[in-house]
Amino acid sequence: MQNKLKDLAQKLADLAAEYTPHIQTLGKGINDVNLAPNFKLREFECKHCGTVKIDPELVRRLQVMRDEIGKPIIINSGYRCPEHNRAVGGAAGSQHLYGTAADIVCPGASIQQVRQAAEKHFKNGGIGRYNTYTHVDTGPKRRWTG
């Protein structure tokens, strides 16, 4: 009985795909939206579940940094849902939970260059200096070394 139901469900799914091919493409472009010339919403998604929220001011400042450095900035971590934040050992009140933070790398520039640009454009925000990446956020002014 269960197998028959499974077969039936599969047949219905196949039929639906055949008669409404657009259904298969619906949703494929989710978050494939430019927030700034060089940043898409997708890049800020939670790496674990794909949900996202983002502070427009964070994106604006990242774009200014990107323009100034003249090389692509990669978002290693943008928004994190609570579950993912716990899984990666993020701080309990991490700015990543609020969509106000990004961990960035810039393969075309030195880490010093990225830190200098961060210092300039996130002057009143948070900056975490790690060996392999830089954390920036639009939260309260804080500085730390990871």
Give the interface with Zn ion as residue ranges (CB under 5 A). Answer: 46, 48-49, 81, 84, 101, 103, 135
The secondary structure of the chain in percent helix, strand, coil, rounded to multiples of 5, reads: 40, 20, 40
C-beta of 8 vs 30, nearer to Zn ion: 30
Min dist. Cβ of residue 134 to Zn ion (A): 9
C-beta of 61 vs 84, nearer to Zn ion: 84
Min dist. Cβ of residue 51 to Zn ion (A): 6
CB atoms closer than 10 angstroms to residue 104:
21
C-beta of 12 vs 49, nearer to Zn ion: 49
Helix (H) or strand (E) holding 40: strand 39-40
CB atoms closer than 10 angstroms to residue 51:
13
